Amino acid sequence: MPFVDSSDKSVPKTTLRLRQDALDRPGKSNFTCLDAFWWTPEVGKEPGAIDTVAKGASTDLASIPPFLWGFIPSYGSHTMSAVLHDSQCKTARAQDRAYGASLHRHADGRFRETLRDDARVGGATHWIMWAAVRLFGDPKVGGTLGACIVIGLLHWAQELFASGANALSELTILPWLRPLAFVPRLAVEALAFAAEWLRPDGRFVVVLALLASAFVLFVVLRSIESEAPGGPRRLDPKAVGSLLGAGLIAVLVAPPLLPLIVVTGLTSLLRMLMDLVVFVLTWLVNQLRPSVETTALPTLDIFPGP
């Protein structure tokens, strides 16, 4: 089940040319696909209606947050799968809500299929990547589930957050980083405060129940689909099952990722503060030495893209 070049559908496509576009905003990188290609169940067969990528299509590759790049990179053997998925999702967003939801679900399924069969991504990894796109295709679904997971971790891992300040302060052990030691300490203390607030079981159950109810509601709304533009809408059990299955994967995977997310996030925050210090110092030099050629102010790339 290969990718093929649209100019010669008899030959599997193994390379892809991309051009990085001008940055539309700091930290957001977009690319233009210089090749037209499609995915087909078998070499020589015509592709499905939405299994094509046009030349000039825009993509941001795999939409993976920077703090998870150490776990799954934003590009690699899965690049063509990600570009196809971006193109399919763009098509889905252009439709009415119900038909678009149906197209999006099929695009997510095709993404998992191409990761497994074409990109040769590992068995656990392609399920994790599918769960991510399935849940966060609708930010309300992914956001409420993410909040449930965070609330659960804060309640059941209170000692981790309460004792984490000393461990994370080692990020600033070098003398020239000591002035920034307050960053990890304040972050962990804030998490410890939230954990303490959630310590009473009654309060925790109420908050978790509200978030879980919102998650279920958004799952149901997302699962109302139609098979054609403007067609009859119905609650699709397969859509509900796929979202709940993706949610189960997220619940199982999130706890082991917590240390990576916390440490990488705080390290990135330290880097942002160092960028800010350099920015301020450069501005001061420019103000105090007006007769000297102005030093270029560095750009604060707060959220780096791929």
Residue 305: predicted pLDDT: 45
- The candidate with the shortest Cα–Cα distance to 33, out of 82, 66, 77, 92, is 82
What confidence tens digit (pLDDT) does each residue in 53-83 have? 989 999 988 888 877 887 888 888 899 999 9
The reported pTM is 0.81
**Residue 238 confidence (pLDDT) above 70:** yes
Element (H, E) at 262: helix 237-288
- The DSSP element (H or E) to which 37 belongs, if any, is strand 37-39
Q: Is the pLDDT of residue 304 over 70?
A: no
Higher pLDDT, 101 or 156: 101
- The kind and range of the H/E element at 182 are helix 182-197
Calpha distance 95→50 (Å, rounded)? 12
